[in-house]
Amino acid sequence: MARRKNFGIKNFFFSLIAVCIVIYIFQSLHGSVETIVAEKGDLENIIKAEGIIVKDERIYNATLDGSVTYYYEEGSKVKQGQLIANLNTDSNSVQINKQIAEIEAAINSKKKNSESAASTESLALYEDNIQASILKSELDNMYDIVGQVDNNGALSVNQDIYDSYDINQLENMKKDLEKSISTNKVPYYSAKAGIITYKIDGLEEVYNIDDVYNLTASSTLKKEYTTSDKFNKETVSANEGILKIIRNFDYYIAATVDNEKAKLFTEDKYIKTRIHSDGHYHEVWGFIKKINYGSEQSVLILYFDDYFYKIYDKRYVDLELITDIYEGIKINTKSLTEKDGMTGVYVQDASNIIKFFPVEIIGMDENFTIVALGEYVEKDERRLIKINEKNYFTVKIFDKVILEPEMVYEGQIAD
């Protein structure tokens, strides 16, 4: 009898231990849940695109064979009219004399242009004298006056190359060139202010700033190219590019996107842009100058006036075009679930009780979701959102949101 009693007690204790183990395992599997703290944050709606940098750039070519002495480091800023390089050559002075003649013609043309105002003012006097001569039948005098007018406007000089220089700068250039005949050095001056670079990629004419508004999807296909650095090159050939000066105040980026995405943009509007370069990125505001729509893709012509010093030597860059920024409570997207026809999240409260709260989604991606903060009620109270004309308490900052909603249920007690 005592033996049976002991056996029953042992069975009771074994059963109790087994139940405790089952309860422990059940609680381990279902009671402990993974959570993440809800916090205030934002989310960007981003469209990624490849961009082509279009710059106001000018290549300076060697007029003769020889070697080059450079006076500025890569990326330096130079002013207009500064001596930037010397071409050292043993060649004859034919090309140098030709350049001197061109500069002399440009000087003369600029001097005549400066006198054009006075000539215009005296034109009325010429006309009066001609009319008076005709009335007096003094034809010889009339022909003399007409001849003077013709002679004053006779010289027409093509001075496009020297348009940006003033007369004093041209005079100095002419003197240096005259000296170079004996020293075998051809000086180069900056035609405009900007950034000097010795990196030439061969696409300068392909992506010309004068044609930037005409770029289409077919003309923005990425091209193979090789950037050559002229700074350390020992010799150069006639007509070879030796350096480049880029206007550093503004530039364009042509971004190609699908037509559906292009509809999200509007001309004459600013857009927040993230430019990726050399493993880094910088946020800068661009202005949408034009949108060129195509059959499948469109090109956004974006204007910028900042951050150029970081990308002046680049041609292609990766872009993030930020169309919207959503602000509110930031939660993990996989924590969202459905209950009673409403989208929401499960929250573990201070008593470890699992509760469901509906949410109002503002924006989302595959990783995160921004939900509305809700309407203020009073201090230390949850805020309210409205769904189908009914008010519901919603998730709040610092809530412990359940990451695996399928593993819990309303009213569950979590460890």
pLDDT reported for residue 279? 84
Contacts of 197 (CB under 8 A, 6+ apart): 74, 75, 243, 244, 245, 246, 312, 313
Asked which of 120-134, 309-323, 389-403 is least confident by mean pLDDT, the reply is: 120-134
Q: Amino acid identity of 289?
A: K
pLDDT tens digits for 164-181?
Answer: 788 888 888 788 777 766
pLDDT over 50 at 330, yes or no:
yes
- Assign 36 a pLDDT band (cuts: 50, 70, 90): very high
Partners of 297 in beta bridges: 258
- Residue 386 corresponds to which tokens in the numbers above? 């409205």
Q: Which of 58, 98, 82, 70 is nearest to 180 (CA)?
A: 98
Are the C-beta atoms of residues 78 and 72 closer than 8 Å to each other? yes
pLDDT tens digits for 185-240?
Answer: 888 999 999 999 999 999 999 999 999 999 999 999 999 999 999 998 989 998 89
Mean pLDDT of 130-147: 49
pLDDT tens digits for 353-362?
Answer: 999 999 999 9
pLDDT reported for residue 33? 79
Asked which of 9-23, 39-53, 100-114, 269-283 is least confident by mean pLDDT, the reply is: 9-23
Over pLDDT 70: what percentage of the chain? 78
Q: Which residue has the higher pLDDT, 28 or 267?
A: 267
pLDDT reported for residue 3? 52
pLDDT over 80 at 31, yes or no:
no
pLDDT reported for residue 135? 47
What is the residue-wise DSSP string for 294-325? -SSEEEEEEEE-SSHHHHTT-SEEEEEEEEEE
